[in-house]
Structure 1
Amino acid sequence: MTVQQQQSPPKPAWKQFSNFANGHPLGIEKTLRLIQAICQILSSSIFVSYIPNAVYAVGCSSARNQIALARRYLRFFKFIESFNSGYAAWQVPALTGTDSIRKIVIVAKWSVFGVYYAMEDLTILDAMGIWATPWAKDTFVESNKWWFYAIALSLIGSTFSLFFPPPEFRGKPQQSQKSGNTETEKTPATEQTKLDLTPIVKGIIVDGCDILLPGSFLGWIQATPTQVGVAMVVSTLVTSKDIWVKANM
């Protein structure tokens, strides 16, 4: 006798948000990032003209800066994870020539991200107003260059994987048993399930939006503060969807 499993009632929205913000290590960071992006948009010159009191615009700008600093606290030790990810990628054997190219790009990407996070950490006391140093501003600018290089490498790697899918996206040949025989046969490659490259496409969208942040700061990409804020909203929402689902499983 089969027992039918009753589906649990859906969680209320406030509970789902609580699980997202408090139950997942990246949930609070993404929440703060979304608020920072909204403050960035509201403090831009386009919206300032529509605000009757300029104090609100100044408040949004101050909130953006404070939230940006708070997010730096959360990623203070991120350089350890980045270097470890680069080392882990280096340990993965390359089966083909394309895998070797992808491996080099991934290792370089995580290594550059590690340098960016480490250099950014060197300026946090200056940003907090605790220890002002004459080299903090230049170091912060250089760290943003490394951030730009890391996102560019991520874009290159994702685009390369879009045309040459990594092993985890290739799938394994399906096998089917012959009737009356224990032998198995592989199904042709044309009958395999179509590859789902959605995660790679999402990565390209996110990196394409995020590269505006260091690019506009350095003056390498012409983008207004409003455009940067909108790009932050898009990339945050795209990356937060999967985190939301995992936090409420």
Structure 2
Amino acid sequence: MNLGMERMLRFFQAIAQILSSYTLPFNLLVYGLTLAAEKPPSPDATYAILQALRQRLGLIRRFFRLFRFLESFHAAHQLYLGSTRKGAGTGTGTPIQLQTEDWLDILGRTFNGMYLLLEASTTADALGIDGLALWAPETARRLALEAQRFWLFALVCGVFAGSLRAVKVLAYTPVPAAPATTTGTGAAFGATKGGNGEDGDGDGDGDGDGDGDGDGDGDGDGDGDGDGDGDGDGDEKNWDLQREQARLRGLASDRRRARVLWRRDIQAKIRRLGRGVVANALDVALPGTAVGWLDLDPGTVGVAMLVTSILTGLEVWERCGREVGVGGG
């Protein structure tokens, strides 16, 4: 819940930054305020309000992630211990070798924990209250800069880890094997044959009054014209052919159904991984600009923040849906 509220505040902060950075959206806002209010604020006052709102929203968001560095360090520790536990479970006692994307995840979580820890240490300074600051102004600025650098490293690790996982999903996910048997139409044909052929009164080889080999009045092996064996063999072959065709149709239908489910599962995984990669790649604009490695204007940074807020907000929403579904089940 806290993460969802933080994403929502980030969304509004991005909107405030975009409105204060681009002329057209800002003029539209001023025009709308002019129509809605009898005494609208001046453009300069509106700009100052947007800047103050953006800063206040950023400060509020810091309290939502004040102790989240503990979660990041714990997640990195659990990812590293996971290989040892899996190795112990195999009975060999040797840890399972971590893949490249696993190491990138561990590094990313660690870098993110360092970012959140340094940011939390300067929260009191960000309040701007006299006598409450923990650091000297220059030290606080340097800590904030190093925090942004650690965040940049975490985002880069996330981009590479997500890209590697997406490639492996496409390359190594096994195609579903064809089912060995089917219980569809072929079984129905087999059941129908017993009812209409062997023991009934139809045209098969039973003891009824048909044209088979029994004692009835047909053209069987009695004193008739001798056409019974040929017809019986022909019916048997047609019946086997129909049953085989039905079995093959059932196999093809099961195979198509399995491939549709497999393709749907692959698309869901790629969509989730791709969304994370895009969000991390766009978020690089924020710390990259803060540390001076990227030269982007505030409006571009605001647009990147807006898009990533939507993408990560969708991830939070879907995660809540899965948790509610599991709890309800």
If the length of structure 2 is used for normalisation, what is the TM-score? 0.59
Unaligned runs of 5+ in 1: 1-23, 181-186
What are the residue-to-residue correspondences of 1:35-184 with 2, within 5 Å?
Answer: 35-44=12-21, 46=23, 50=27, 51=30, 53-93=43-83, 100-130=99-129, 131-132=132-133, 133-134=135-136, 135-165=139-169, 170=173, 176=179, 178=181
Unaligned runs of 5+ in 2: 31-41, 88-95, 184-254, 325-329
What's the offset of the Cα at 1:35?
0.6
How far apart are the structure 1 equivalents of 2:318 and 2:142?
Answer: 40
What's the offset of the Cα at 1:76?
0.4
How far apart are the structure 2 equivalents of 1:219 and 1:124?
Answer: 22
Classify the secondary structure of the residue corresponding to 2:169: coil
When residues 33 and 175 of structure 1 are mapped into structure 2, their CA distance, relative to the original with a 3 A threshold, is same
How far apart are the structure 1 equivalents of 2:55 and 2:105?
Answer: 31
What's the offset of the Cα at 1:213?
0.6
When residues 246 and 144 of structure 1 are mapped into structure 2, their CA distance, relative to the original with a 3 A threshold, is closer
What's the offset of the Cα at 1:216?
1.0
- The number of residues matched between the two structures is 216
Q: Residues 106 and 154 of structure 1 are in contact (CA less than 8 Å); yes or no, is this contact kept in structure 2?
A: yes
If the length of structure 1 is used for normalisation, what is the TM-score? 0.76
When residues 53 and 77 of structure 1 are mapped into structure 2, their CA distance, relative to the original with a 3 A threshold, is same
How far apart are the structure 1 equivalents of 2:169 and 2:64?
Answer: 33
Letter in 2 for 1:218: V
Partner of 2:192: none
Which has the higher relative contact order, 1 or 2, with Cα contacts under 8 A spaced 6 or more apart? 1
Structure number with the higher helix fraction is 2
Classify the secondary structure of the residue corresponding to 1:219: coil
Q: Residues 41 and 47 of structure 1 are in contact (CA less than 8 Å); yes or no, is this contact kept in structure 2?
A: no
Letter in 2 for 1:118: L
What's the offset of the Cα at 1:245?
4.6
What's the offset of the Cα at 1:25?
2.9
When residues 163 and 245 of structure 1 are mapped into structure 2, their CA distance, relative to the original with a 3 A threshold, is closer
Higher-Rg structure is: 2
